[in-house]
């Protein structure tokens, strides 16, 4: 069995698929959905880099990252994004307030 292991300072994401249909049922061209940031779910994390606060970047976390900094890769038929810890701009946490 093959397995991916990201190098130190890198994160492998499963990129979220952008919605291309509006709530009114209009189809949007791909160019209309382009933004500087993309979102994805952390699939694997490499070792942390000294000086980079990455404690919240954990497997399963949803993050926003700089779209242009990501490298696309395909592994065993699945598509992933490879980015550096520094290119993660926001971690979205689902915390229940009690």
Please check whether residue 80 lies inside any domain of the structure: yes
Please check whether residue 69 lies inside any domain of the structure: yes
Contacts of 39 (CB under 8 A, 6+ apart): 15, 16, 62, 63, 64, 65, 92
CATH number (domain holding residue 38): 2.30.33.40
Total domains, the chain: 1
Residue 41 phi, psi (nearest 5): -105, 130
pLDDT: which is higher, 2 or 93:
2
Please check whether residue 5 lies inside any domain of the structure: no
pLDDT digits (tens, 9 = 90+) for 35-54: 677 888 999 998 877 766 77
pTM: 0.72
> Could you list the residue range(s) of the whole structural domain that residue 58 is in?
10-17+33-92
Within 10 angstroms of residue 8's Cβ, the number of other Cβ atoms is: 10
pLDDT digits (tens, 9 = 90+) for 63-89: 888 888 899 999 999 999 999 988 998
């Amino acid at each position: 069995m093959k397995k991916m292991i990201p190098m130190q300072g890198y994160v492998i994401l499963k990129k979220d698929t952008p919605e291309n249909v509006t709530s009114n049922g209009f189809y949007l061209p791909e160019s209309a959905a382009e933004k500087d940031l993309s979102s994805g779910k952390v699939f694997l994390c490499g070792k942390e880099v000294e000086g980079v606060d990455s404690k919240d970047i954990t497997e399963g976390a949803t993050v926003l990252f700089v779209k242009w900094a990501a490298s696309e890769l395909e592994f065993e038929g699945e598509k992933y994004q490879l980015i550096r810890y520094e290119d993660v701009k926001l971690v979205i946490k689902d915390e229940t307030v009690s």
